[in-house]
């Protein structure tokens, strides 16, 4: 697998346009789904994935095969997503931070009813409400099927943190879906 | 037995790990014994398993066919560029609206600030009291920046969600009130440095708020095209 990755990366670096298209075809669908769910917008996901692949094309010379090419691409993608979300959050906080002093809104209490079967539509909505870090770990683990060891590589965190983020995400989803 | 002690094992269990997979780990066997008699943990495992199953069957989002065509043509274009431009990459285009807004503000405000600072130095060197309405040049530059940014923000305002628009409207009302009050104070005491600085602070806050509004709108749909159209109008 690693040898195949290294060969594909070498062909891309050598300017083989077909090789880079092969790389795109292998990973674009899964990466696109991940980006849509991470940033919540199909239009923005297109722009962001385009940036990811252009950056991947520029950075392929730095790929040494320490991880699978797919993991390397996931890492680039998640870095882009998290940067995008951080920038958006900073702007949103600054712009909508109330200039007047007001009391915070009361949180609404969840009703203790658990649906027997979780609908995919409800789950998609609930995923959008997760904190960024927990959403990233949850999508990689429960949706994309990565192991915690791989998630640790992709997100640059420890395996323990990956586990605790997935746990946090599941518990929060449970709370949201009980409403 | 305390349920919280098993949180880490609970997720492993939901992921399909069983005591038989961890014969050497007594905690797994203890957890499974606990689970058999704990309604709370059984409900939790059932809920998390439902979430896990639903997550693994979520629909795939398919990237549009044009995406590869766009990437391929961008790569070709990149390869024709000098190396330093290739390193900067395509990230630039996404920042066009923000960069436009920031540039307008920076150029105008920096110009005004320089004039104001120069006047302060001259006044201090002359040893005299500050002249009435000393802040006028800086104030004018801020106002020009605000007018330019306001046009951009108005052009892209529709891209913002109603809730954000409401908060922004409220914040703009607060900052406009602060500007009015600072102007009133300055009218009463034209030589007051405190009143001058208070007015400039309020104007600067409005510039920052407008910059954030433009950037937020471009995040949520009012993209480079809208910003470019607004800038074109400004330049005409």
Determine what percent of chain A is predicted with pLDDT higher than 70.
Answer: 88
Q: How far is CA B144 from CA A11, B46, B77, B207, in A?
A: 54, 61, 38, 10
Residue A25 host element (H or E): helix A17-39
Contact B56, A145 (CB under 8 A): yes
Last residue of a domain, one of A36, A67, A97: A97
Is residue A162 assigned to a domain? yes
Specify if A105 maps to a domain.
Answer: no
Res B172: pLDDT = 86
CA distance A4 to chain B (A): 22
Burial class (CB within 10 angstroms; exposed 0-12, middle 13-18, buried 19+) of B19 = middle
Same domain, A68 and A4: yes
Cβ of residue B68 closer than 8 Å to a chain A Cβ: yes
Residue A175 DSSP class: H
Yes or no: say if B158 and B222 are a contact pair by the CB < 8 Å rule. Answer: yes
- Which pLDDT score is estimated for B235? 38
Question: pLDDT tens, A69-108?
Answer: 889 999 999 999 999 999 888 878 777 776 665 544 444 4
Per-residue pLDDT, B211: 83
- Helical (H) or strand (E) element with B202: helix B193-219
Looking at the structure, do residues A74 and A161 belong to the same domain, yes or no?
no
Query: In this predicted complex, what is the ipTM?
Result: 0.83
Radius of gyration of chain B (CA): 30
Residues in A touching B83 (Cβ below 8 Å): none
Q: Are residues A26 and A58 in the same domain?
A: yes
Strands (E), B74-115: none
- Per CB-CB distance under 8 Å, the chain B contacts of A29 are 60-63
User: Quick one: A82 and A119 in the same domain?
Assistant: no
Instruction: Decide if pLDDT at A28 tops 60.
Output: yes
The total of structural domains in chain A comes to: 2
A43 found inside a domain: yes
CB contact under 8 A, A32 and B11: no
Q: Is A144 left (phi over 0), alpha (psi -120 to 50) or beta?
A: alpha
| Residue A134, domain CATH | 1.10.10.10
Domain at A84, CATH number:
1.10.1740.10
Cβ within 8 Å, pair B55-A123: yes
- Note whether A23 and A50 are same-domain residues: yes
Residues lower than pLDDT 70 in chain B: 1, 5, 19, 22-24, 81-136, 220-236
Output the pTM of the full model.
Answer: 0.63
- Once rounded to an integer, what is the mean pLDDT over residues A131-145? 96
Contacts of B99 (CB under 8 A, 6+ apart): none
B46-95 pLDDT, tens digit per residue, is: 999 999 999 999 999 999 999 999 999 998 887 776 665 555 554 444 45
Q: What is the pLDDT of residue B48?
A: 93
pLDDT at B62: 94
| Chain A positions in Cβ-Cβ contact with residue B207 (cut-off 8 Å) | none
What confidence score (pLDDT) does residue B169 get? 85
Q: Which of B14, B50, B82, B152 to probe by mutation at the A interface, max A CB count within 10 Å?
A: B50
The two structure tokens encoding residue B75:
């790569």
- Alpha carbon distances (Å) from B54 to A123, B48, B60, B115, B180: 7, 10, 13, 63, 56
Range with the poorest average pLDDT among A47-56, A73-82, A145-154, B21-30? B21-30
Q: At A111, is the pLDDT very low, low, confident or very high (cuts 50, 70, 90)?
A: very low
Looking at the structure, tell me whether residues A63 and A148 fall in a common domain. Answer: no
Domain boundaries, chain B: 3-56, 93-235
Provide the 8-state DSSP code for B236: -
Query: Residue A114: what are its φ and ψ, rounded to 5°?
Result: -105, 125
Q: Which of residues 90-129 of B touch A (CB under 8 A)?
A: 90-91, 94
Instruction: Using an 8 Å CB-CB cutoff, list chain A residues near B209.
Output: 94-95
The tokens for B149 are 């940014």
The pLDDT value given to residue A63: 80
Q: Do A47 and B94 touch (CB under 8 A)?
A: yes
Q: Are residues A84 and A114 in the same domain?
A: no
Which chain A positions have a beta carbon within 8 Å of B78's beta carbon? 54, 57-58
Among residues A97, A129, A156, the one where a domain terminates is: A97
User: Residue A30 corresponds to which tokens in the numbers above?
Assistant: 């899964």
Decide: helix, strand or coil at residue A113: coil
Q: For residue A177, give its domain range.
A: 110-179
Give the largest CA-CA distance in chain B.
89
Q: Residue B1: helix, strand or coil by DSSP?
A: coil
Query: What is the enclosing helix (H) or strand (E) of A88?
Result: helix A69-96
Q: Rounded to the nearest 10 degrees, how much is the dihedral formed by the CA atoms of A49, A51, A57, A62? A: -100
Q: What is the pLDDT of residues A6-22, one digit of tens each?
A: 888 888 878 787 899 99
pLDDT (mean) for A148-163: 94
């Amino acid at each position: 697998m690693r040898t195949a990755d290294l060969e594909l990366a070498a062909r891309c670096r050598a300017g083989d346009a077909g090789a880079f298209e092969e790389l795109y075809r292998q990973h674009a669908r899964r990466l696109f789904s991940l980006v849509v769910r991470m940033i919540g917008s199909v239009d923005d996901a297109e722009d962001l994935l385009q940036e990811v692949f252009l950056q991947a094309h520029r950075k392929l010379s730095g790929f040494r095969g320490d991880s699978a090419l797919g993991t390397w691409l996931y890492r680039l993608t998640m870095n882009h997503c998290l940067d995008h979300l951080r920038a958006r959050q900073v702007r949103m906080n600054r712009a909508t931070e109330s200039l007047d002093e007001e009391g915070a809104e009361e949180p609404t209490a969840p009703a203790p009813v658990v649906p027997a079967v979780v609908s995919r539509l409800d789950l998609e909505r609930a995923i959008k409400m997760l904190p960024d870090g927990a959403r990233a770990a949850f999508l990689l683990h429960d949706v994309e099927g990565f192991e915690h060891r791989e998630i640790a590589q992709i997100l640059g965190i420890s395996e323990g943190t990956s586990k605790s983020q997935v746990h946090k995400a599941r518990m929060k989803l449970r709370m949201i879906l009980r409403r | 037995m305390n349920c919280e002690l098993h949180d880490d094992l609970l997720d492993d269990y939901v992921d399909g790990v069983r005591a038989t997979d961890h014969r050497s780990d007594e905690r797994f066997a203890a957890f499974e014994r606990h689970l058999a008699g704990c309604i709370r943990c059984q409900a939790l495992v059932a809920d998390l398993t439902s979430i896990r199953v639903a997550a693994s069957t979520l629909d795939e989002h398919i990237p549009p066919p044009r995406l590869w065509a766009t990437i391929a043509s961008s790569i070709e274009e990149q390869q024709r560029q000098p190396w330093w431009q290739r390193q900067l990459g395509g990230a630039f285009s996404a920042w066009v609206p923000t960069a436009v807004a920031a540039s307008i503000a920076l150029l105008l405000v920096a110009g005004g600030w320089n004039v104001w600072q120069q006047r302060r130095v001259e006044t201090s060197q002359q040893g005299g009291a500050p002249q009435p309405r000393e802040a006028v040049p800086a104030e004018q530059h801020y106002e020009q920046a605000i007018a330019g940014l306001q046009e951009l923000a108005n052009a892209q305002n529709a891209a913002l969600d109603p809730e954000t628009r409401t908060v922004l409207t409220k914040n703009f009302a607060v900052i406009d009130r602060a500007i009015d009050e600072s102007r009133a104070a300055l009218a009463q005491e034209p030589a007051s440095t405190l009143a001058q600085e208070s007015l400039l602070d309020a104007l600067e806050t409005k510039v920052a708020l407008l910059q954030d509004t433009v950037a937020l709108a471009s995040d949520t749909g009012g993209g480079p095209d809208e910003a470019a159209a607004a800038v074109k109008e400004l330049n005409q």
